[in-house]
Amino acid sequence: MSHVVKKRKLDKTRQDRLYFDSYTDVTIHEEMIADHVRTNTYRMAILNNSESIRGKVVLDVGAGTGVLSMFCVQAGAKKVYAVEACSIAEQAVNIVKQNNMEDQIEVIRGTVETVDLPEKVEVIVSEWMGYALLHESMLNSVLYARDKWLKPGGIILPHKAELYIAPISDPVVEDRLHFWYTVKDQYGVDMSCMSDFARGCIMNSDITVNSVHGEDVLSHPARFAELDLHTVTVEALRSVKGKFKCESFGSAAVNAFCVFFTVTFPCPDKPQTLVLSTSPFKPETHWKQAVLYLDAPVDVVQDTVVTGEISMFPSEESARHICIHVDYTIGEQKRQSKTFSIPDWSSEAQS
């Protein structure tokens, strides 16, 4: 007897527990710290802002192992409150002691929404970005901290985030679909009828986190949203959207869009800001890119126009999960729509 498993909405406490539990293992912290682009950009940004940090009080939101807090001490911070909700905070305490910074850094176990700091701060630092920027919705906590604990005129690192989209041609997908046409030559059994089934499985509605190569990007990326962390509201994060227009570089088959982000750090007294980019044209990070597969590929030629509107919003099942809806038109094709979501890592916990 077949049955349908209906997804049920997770209450916020359960959502948060699943999220924080995912950060208790060493693997994710190893991956983040080993991401040289991520970690070194934060280090350079903090040191470049030493004039704004020296002698000041800092709040590190979602401190993890405390590495950003220690960068702030290296930049001259008088006091750092390292707030971390999961059990990795115990390791952060050990690391702080090992680096003889326990006088400057106080590790506080708890969420920023529930802890009580003894004073307001002049600086907030946080590495809050998730896949496609907004997955895990940790930015909400940074904004809460900003509104409750940041003094007027204080700084936020990073202070700006931008989102981009571009059409791509993913050759791996085409190779996997073509595979079913090669089985007959190898084994004498024709399995080409599997191609349509495979297409439905591979080009599904999941947000696929994958590395996109620059040569597979078919146009200049289009920026569709910008978030100023000093002014953006939690309400605005319930729907981050924008329009886009791209023009194809040449002849190819568009089989997906890729979404990526940048965050920008202020650099006082320097002509350029410091940017942490997850662009496919830049060195790879652990965020890679978010790939959104179309139902079927569409052929384009040079200067074919790809237009549309993209919207990012929290999932109904779990507010920490991001969904992406894209309305798009490729060349003379009729307008298409598709909604994507991150595969549900909490489904096993619900069953």
65/118 Cα distance (integer angstroms): 22
* CB-based contact 64:35 (threshold 8 Å): no
Amino acid, res. 158: P
241/163 Cα distance (integer angstroms): 10
Report the phi/psi class of residue 296: left, alpha or beta, with left for phi > 0 and alpha for psi in -120 to 50. beta
| Residue of 90, 136, 174, 332 marked catalytic | 136
| Residue of 90, 127, 247, 309 marked catalytic | 127
Which letter does DSSP use for residue 10 in this model?
Answer: P
Closest CA to 293 of 220, 229, 203: 203
Active site residue 127: yes
Amino acid, res. 287: W
Joined together, the tokens standing for residue 248 give 């194809």
* CB-based contact 82:107 (threshold 8 Å): yes
Angle at CA of residue 329, ends 305 and 277, nearest 5°: 70
Active site residue 136: yes
Count CB neighbours of 333 within 10 A.
14
Joined together, the tokens standing for residue 80 give 């750092």
Beta bridge partners of 306: 246, 330
Joined together, the tokens standing for residue 134 give 């907004």
Count CB neighbours of 241 within 10 A.
14
DSSP 119-182: S-EEEEE----BTTBTTT-THHHHHHHHHHHEEEEEEEES-EEEEEEEEE--HHHHHHHHHHHH
Positions marked active-site: 127, 136
